[in-house]
Amino acid sequence: MVQSVAPPAKPLKTNNPSLCGRHRYTVAGLIYLCYTTADLFAGRTVRRHVTGATALLLPRPRRTWERGHVSESASISTGIAGRYATAVFELAKDGNELDRLENDISTLDAAISGSADFRSLIHSPIYTRAQQGTATAAIAEKMELSGTVANTLKLMASKRRLFVLPQLITALRGLIADEKGEVTADVRAATALSDEQQENLAATLKKSVGKDVKMNVTVDESLIGGLIVKVGSKMIDTSIRSKLAALQNTMKEVG
């Protein structure tokens, strides 16, 4: 018989080296082995095979669906964000507020990038729906966000969907760009770009894609130098970090 067993709140440690860091405790005359937190994070489950008075824990094989869990979660988040984005975009378009919507999402994006507290608010499960709703309402008022965006944040808080806010911003930028006949280029630079540099880059990208390019520029000092530009599904990586990585791979092959 195979049964699932929950780990005890305070398992007794054992000095038996054969247990490899696991814990052992006894309940009703049965010996249980409990995997440590590291074992659980490694994808093992707590199970026991009962034979007489002995219970042994065995790691379960990793299922295929678990290997794709991260990509599946990202896909779900993108899908949720897409539905919210479509609704917000249509409301803003009907109200002739696309320019204000564009300003709102730029303001929110800057808040996510610049405030660890704001990132914690939208991602951390320790906050209740009510706490998230109250906080986002105060933030929306402070930022002077439009009623459409403020109400959307309130709804997302009530549905526990604030964690998709970064994807929502990306989706809205894409919808606004399509409406204006533009494309959005996400640019990561090792240092801040001057207005002239941004204009020259936008002009170069326009020649490549055939549309006006609106750039979303962020600074990433880990690049050391150069740029990473993403336009749609295309990515151009001219960063020094990538060149060093390529050189290192080449040296490994030679060696």
* pLDDT on residue 240: 85
* pLDDT on residue 86: 93
State percent of the chain over pLDDT 90: 34
* Mean pLDDT across 49-57: 38
Best CA proximity match to 165, nearest among 71, 68, 88, 72: 88
Residue with the bigger pLDDT between 7 and 104: it is 104
* pLDDT on residue 30: 40
* Mean pLDDT across 10-19: 40
Note the pLDDT tens digit of each residue in 123-166.
999 999 999 999 999 999 999 999 999 999 999 999 999 999 99
Coil/strand/helix, residue 16: coil
- Which pTM was predicted? 0.57
Residue 73: CB atoms within 10 A of its CB come to 10
On whether the CB atoms of residues 167 and 78 are closer than 8 A, the answer is yes
Both tokens assigned to 171: 């989706």
Topology, domain 65-180: Peroxidase; domain 1 (1.10.520)
Helical pair 98-114 and 165-179, crossing angle rounded to 10 deg: 150
Say how far apart CA 80 and CA 200 lie, in whole Å.
36
* pLDDT on residue 6: 45
* pLDDT on residue 230: 86
Burial of 168 (C-beta count, 10 Å sphere; 0-12/13-18/19+): buried
* pLDDT on residue 207: 86
CATH architecture, domain defined by 181-255: 3-Layer(aba) Sandwich (3.40)
Say how far apart CA 45 and CA 60 lie, in whole Å.
6
Both tokens assigned to 19: 């247990």
Cα 81-87-92 angle, rounded to 5 deg: 120
CATH 1.10.520.20 domain range(s) in the chain: 65-180
* pLDDT on residue 60: 43
Residue 139: CB atoms within 10 A of its CB come to 18
Best CA proximity match to 172, nearest among 189, 154, 148: 148
Residue 247 scores a pLDDT above 70:
yes
* pLDDT on residue 255: 57
Kindly indicate the confidence band of residue 72, based on its pLDDT and cuts at 50, 70 and 90: low
SS (H, E, C) 126-167: CCCHHHHHHHHHHHHHHHCCCHHHHHHHHHHHHCCCHHHHHH
Calculate the average pLDDT of the chain. 75
**Pairing between strand 182-189 and 212-219?**
parallel
Residue 66 scores a pLDDT above 70:
no
CATH 3.40.30 domain range(s) in the chain: 181-255
Residue 111 scores a pLDDT above 70:
yes
Residue with the bigger pLDDT between 97 and 226: it is 97
Both tokens assigned to 67: 């290997």
Residue 71 scores a pLDDT above 70:
no
* Mean pLDDT across 235-242: 84
Kindly indicate the confidence band of residue 74, based on its pLDDT and cuts at 50, 70 and 90: low
On whether the CB atoms of residues 111 and 118 are closer than 8 A, the answer is yes
